[in-house]
């Protein structure tokens, strides 16, 4: 197979990983991004390389059966998780996994992130799914996360981080960014409400949430 024909897709993945790092949504060694290339192929960021300085020819290409077609590149420890997610969600093309600080803190506390504080976050995310802990890099984690995404596009991974799916790389990235802002807003509003007498949080009520869902679905 001529992998050079996927040069633009691999570069797009590398560029987005750089953006993820620059926005402080992950660390030098953490996080991974994948993109569906065809019915039988996807590309994914590799292991053991600086996530802030990736280039296109360092993005691995993998079959949907798990075969690494770029054996000179070490696969991400979470390549099986990405594979399972892409198989579970054939309607989605991109997967972004990262460890944004605030959102990841909520996974460690098993506390929900309030996505109803802004119309934008409820419209885009709705209620994030939650995946119970499984050790990173395991098939158990891959299956748990994939199952969690059957009816959601965002999942909080207990003591690990978050993962989003999108029809494009930008869409999946946007969900990570909006989720992290929602986590920050949840922390701020809950902290102020608990320390400031008379300070209350006005989240979207059910009627407003439903109105946004009707708008989202064109009803």
The residue ranges of every structural domain in the chain are: 3-216
Q: Write down the CATH number for the domain with range 3-216.
A: 3.40.225.10
What's the pLDDT score for residue 198? 80
Contacts of 5 (CB under 8 A, 6+ apart): none
Residues of the chain with pLDDT under 50: none
Beta-ladder partners of 209: none
pLDDT of residue 49: 86
Strand order through the sheet with 161-166: 60-63, 41-44, 32-36, 94-98, 161-166, 154-157, 129-131
CB distance 212 to 123 below 8 Å: yes
Q: So what's the pLDDT on residue 1?
A: 66
Q: pTM to 2 decimals?
A: 0.94
């Amino acid at each position: 197979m001529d992998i050079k024909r996927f040069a633009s897709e691999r570069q797009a993945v590398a560029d987005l990983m750089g953006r993820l790092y620059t926005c402080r949504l992950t660390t030098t060694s953490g996080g991974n991004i994948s993109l569906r290339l065809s019915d039988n192929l996807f590309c994914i960021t590799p292991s053991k390389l600086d996530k802030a300085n990736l280039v296109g020819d360092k993005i691995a290409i993998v079959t949907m059966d798990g075969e690494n077609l770029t054996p000179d590149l070490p696969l991400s420890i979470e390549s099986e998780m990405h594979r399972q997610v892409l198989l579970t969600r054939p309607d989605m093309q991109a997967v972004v996994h990262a460890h944004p600080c605030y959102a990841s803190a909520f996974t460690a506390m098993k506390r929900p992130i309030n996505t109803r504080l802004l119309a934008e976050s409820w419209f885009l995310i709705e209620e994030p799914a939650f995946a119970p802990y499984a050790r990173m890099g395991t098939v158990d984690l891959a299956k748990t996360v994939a199952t969690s995404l059957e009816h959601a596009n965002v999942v909080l991974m207990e003591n690990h981080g978050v993962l989003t799916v999108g029809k494009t790389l930008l869409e999946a990235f946007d969900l990570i960014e909006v989720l992290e802002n929602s986590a920050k807003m949840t922390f701020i509003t809950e902290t102020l409400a608990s320390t400031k007498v008379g300070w209350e949080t006005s989240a979207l009520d059910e009627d407003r949430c439903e109105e946004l869902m009707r708008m989202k679905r064109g009803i």
